[in-house]
């Protein structure tokens, strides 16, 4: 086997990234080596690429970033038991320590000492990646590599929707990013009654609609709060899936939430936000659910059932595909002011 590979690397403490030749990772005893077929760009990768405040505090260059991937196992460590060479896999990106209270009580996804693949370790924008066995998910051979690679964010959407118990309820999805679009498709399949979609950019609002939200609103031209309250006879929706982290969306989300409803928070605000606990939560008697990652591995079984049985087709959300060496074009598409893109997949 070749000893070198191409990888997209954050070389220094500055914006951007470089394609360089590096050594193929040497696996540890509990890891597998995966030859990557497809990897997709996540919001987290954009933070790292831009070298924003969060990445400055968390990322330690030089490192290979990227974490959403699908590929074939080409080597297994000597303590690996459940994965073999030739398996077609993807990666759960939350790396648990497997020893803390949370890991021992079925909550590995929020492990006390959580590490993230491609954030705290070398990642997937490369020809090969080392993945701890605990994070390996075996794919159905029929799954296209680009779909395999987006299962991690699709899993965020699955966890958000399933935890919110949307069946036969009116819901609103705040956000028009890829995960919000996936959530619309999943909510429709698991039987949400009406799915209101609230986004910003016309291209993405259209995607939200294509995936199953109807009606959809753009905050650039509609007043979604008024429209949704009118459409629900002034009562509001049973469930709000907040997938932006924007202060305005959070506020609007609580305005349109019915008394006794469920507010599910997935989008991460960039800082602290002021919040009316009395009126939004206490007097409303509502539930708030926080979503971090994917349940390991209940969410993966659910998302695989959705994808393998073709109940949800995520492909409309995959709008751009490039060879890995053209990763720059992928970031350009995501960073374009009009946001005329969904998910960008790269192929090594």
Length of the chain: 348
181 CA to centre of own chain = 11
- Least CB distance to Zn ion at residue 282 (A): 33
DSSP character at residue 25: P
Cβ-based nearer residue to Zn ion, 103 or 174: 103
Cβ-based nearer residue to Zn ion, 155 or 199: 155
Which class for 310: exposed (0-12), middle (13-18), buried (19 or more C-beta within 10 A)? exposed
Q: Of the listed 47, 94, 109, 320, which one is catalytic?
A: 47
- Least CB distance to Zn ion at residue 209 (A): 23
Cβ-based nearer residue to Zn ion, 108 or 174: 108
Q: Of the listed 44, 93, 244, 299, which one is catalytic?
A: 44
Q: Who contacts 198 (Cβ-Cβ below 8 Å, separation ≥6)?
A: 172, 173, 174, 175, 176, 216, 217, 219, 224, 228, 249, 252
Report the SS3 class of residue 320: strand
Q: Compute CA distances 61 → 39, 55, 318, whole Å.
A: 20, 10, 29
Cβ-based nearer residue to Zn ion, 46 or 100: 100
Whether residue 44 lies in the annotated active site:
yes
Report the SS3 class of residue 173: strand
DSSP character at residue 167: B
2 CA to centre of own chain = 32
Cβ-based nearer residue to Zn ion, 31 or 152: 152
Cβ–Cβ under 8 Å, residues 111 and 97: yes
DSSP 178-239: HHHHHHHHHHHHTTBS-EEEEESSHHHHHHHHHHT-BSEEETTT--HHHHHHHHTTTS-EEE
Whether residue 94 lies in the annotated active site:
no
Cβ-based nearer residue to Zn ion, 21 or 52: 52
- Least CB distance to Zn ion at residue 334 (A): 13
Interface with Zn ion (CB under 5 A)? 42, 68, 96-97, 100, 103, 111, 152-153
Give me the helices (H) in 15-150, please.
43-50, 53-58, 101-104, 145-149
- Least CB distance to Zn ion at residue 285 (A): 33
DSSP 130-159: EEEGGGEEEPPTTS-HHHHHTHHHHHHHHH
Question: Hey, which residues are catalytic here?
Answer: 44, 47
């Amino acid at each position: 086997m070749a000893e070198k590979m191409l990888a997209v690397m954050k070389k220094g403490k500055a914006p951007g990234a470089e394609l360089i030749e590096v050594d193929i990772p040497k696996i540890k005893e509990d890891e597998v080596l995966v030859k990557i077929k497809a990897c997709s760009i996540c919001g987290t990768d954009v933070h790292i690429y831009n070298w924003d405040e969060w990445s400055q505090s968390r990322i330690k260059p030089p490192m290979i970033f990227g974490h959403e991937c699908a590929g074939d196992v080409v080597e297994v460590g000597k303590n690996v038991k459940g994965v073999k060479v030739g398996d077609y896999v993807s990666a759960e990106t939350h790396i648990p320590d497997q020893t803390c209270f949370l890991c021992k009580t079925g909550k590995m996804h929020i492990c006390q000492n959580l590490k993230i693949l491609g954030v705290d370790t070398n990642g997937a924008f490369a020809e090969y990646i080392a993945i701890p066995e605990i994070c390996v998910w075996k794919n159905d051979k029929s799954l296209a590599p680009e779909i395999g690679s987006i299962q991690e964010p699709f899993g965020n959407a699955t966890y958000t929707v399933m935890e919110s118990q949307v069946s036969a309820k009116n819901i609103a999805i705040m956000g028009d990013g890829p995960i919000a679009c996936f959530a619309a498709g999943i909510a429709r399949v698991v039987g949400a009654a009406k799915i209101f979609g609230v986004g910003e950019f016309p291209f993405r609002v259209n995607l939200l609609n294509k995936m199953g939200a109807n009606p959809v609103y753009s905050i650039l031209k509609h007043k979604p709060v008024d429209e949704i309250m009118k459409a629900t006879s002034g009562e509001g929706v049973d469930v709000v899936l907040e997938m932006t982290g924007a202060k305005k969306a959070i506020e609007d989300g609580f305005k349109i939430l019915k008394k006794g409803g469920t507010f599910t928070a997935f989008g991460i605000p960039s800082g602290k936000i002021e919040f009316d606990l009395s009126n939004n939560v206490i007097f409303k008697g509502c539930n708030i659910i926080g979503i971090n990652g994917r349940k390991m591995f209940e969410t993966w079984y659910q998302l695989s059932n959705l994808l393998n049985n073709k109940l949800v087709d995520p492909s409309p959300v995959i709008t751009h595909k490039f060879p890995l060496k053209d990763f720059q074009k992928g970031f350009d598409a995501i960073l374009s002011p009009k946001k005329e893109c969904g998910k960008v997949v790269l192929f090594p």
